[in-house]
Amino acid sequence: MKTKNVEYFLEKMPKTDLHVHLDGSLRLETLIELAKEYKVELPSYTEAGLKETVFKESYRNLVEYLQGFSYTCAVLRTPESLERCAYELAKDNITENVRYIEVRYAPQQHICDAMPELDVIISSVDKGLKKAAEEHNRTEAVTSGHDIPFTYGIIVGALRYFNRELSPYYAGLIDSLPHLRRKDIFSCASLELAYAAVKIKREKCIPVVGFDLCGAESGFPAIGHSRAFKYIHRNFLGKTVHAGEAYGPESMFQAITECHANRLGHGTFLFDHNAVSDNQIKNPEEFCDSLAEYIARRRITIESCPTSNLQTIPAIENIKNHPIGKMIDKKLSVTLCTDNRLISNTTVTEEYKKVIEGINVSKKQLRDLVIAGVKGCFYHDTYAEHRAFVRLLINRYVDLEKEYLNDFDNSDIV
């Protein structure tokens, strides 16, 4: 059946994930095991119990969605736990034919007595990812040229603000420096991380490929972290910003103009002129149109995370109402990502299935979604090697497309 062919194809096609949070993507059994080992209290110590109480199919709001991070971050407090979870995340991606990932996380959230230094935190994640990559790349399928090597990059995330529960070190710092404004401490912390990212990349040759800004957008504008992004920009690392996830289009505008963003995380409110709150923008519809056109022309890739958006923005209701369809129609550079494999209970393959089932997507549009991921990534090696990797992935994709989608014309595949 044609439908079954599409399913096989989505599973087998080479994929990327440019927006996946390490602390939101633990294996559930690993979380339980580590919680017992480190004496972290969980609402339940069974997978079924945690799926009922914490990691649900749907959430009432963003606050409930974020509850899971209080448990995952609590077990990521040693080099060993970071290395193990990074390794398992890479292995899970390799299993579903994801061949390039950029793992992001906020290293400053993991500072503790066992890991007081940022370089230890970043190195531990790299060890796990590297081990999984080396195992896959030594297989006969890869060495014989029948499969694509797996590779990765690390994106370090600065935080718009520090949650007291998740970031006890910085919460304590705020308490100890009452004469400083909170936003000044947040700004200094992001600059500290930017310095560390550049230094570790240079001195340890770890593939720190990008810098991100995470956390609630409302009340914590990206411009407050512009110094860190300028430093990253001057040192040639990639820049991505969570923008337009829970705030209006002006958040994306600020990410591009103040933080030099090469990519945007989510971009969910890009076309929603009703979400514009800046009174200085006199014509919100024109502003949104111009912003979308600018993003399209500059090929600023949008890391779209449909499942996560449906879970945290109930007003979207279903995939047909998600802006991914409009992004595709307007030919933006957009690719599908998981955001959080555990908390959103998803995989890269599931994200593609959801979009394919929810909107009409042509063969070419599907191919563009996949290619946007590998072209828009912050590849750690030279431009020539990045081009060669893109070509490998495209060739593999086209071969599988001929095998599984040959009976489809280019109008749609559903």
Query: What CATH number does the domain containing 399 carry?
Result: 3.20.20.140
Per-residue pLDDT, 273: 94
Q: Note whether residue 411 is domain-resident.
A: no
Is 412 within a domain?
no
* 413 in any annotated domain: no
Answer whether residue 414 is part of any domain: no
Number of domains the chain contains? 1
Question: For 269, phi and psi rounded to 5 degrees?
Answer: -100, 20
Q: Give the pLDDT confidence score for residue 178 in this predicted structure.
A: 54
Domain assignment of residue 409, yes or no? no
pTM: 0.94
Containing structural domain, residue 77: 2-404
62, part of any domain: yes
136: in domain: yes
Read off the pLDDT band of 1 (50, 70, 90): very low
Average pLDDT of the segment spanning 33-54: 96
Inside any domain, residue 311: yes
Dihedral sign, CA of 86, 92, 96, 97?
A: positive
Q: Is the pLDDT of residue 357 over 80?
A: yes
pLDDT per residue as tens digits for the range 208-223: 999 999 987 777 789 9
Handedness of CA 193, 194, 195, 201 (dihedral sign): positive
Cα angle: 273, vertex 277, 283; to 5 degrees: 50
Residue 414: pLDDT band by 50, 70, 90 thresholds? low
Sorting pLDDT into bands at 50, 70 and 90, what band is 182? low
Six-digit token string for 314: 């109930």
- Provide the percentage of residues in the chain whose pLDDT is more than 70: 93
Cα separations (Å) of 230 from 267, 294, 308, 327? 22, 21, 29, 28
Least confident range from 61-65, 110-114, 318-322: namely 61-65
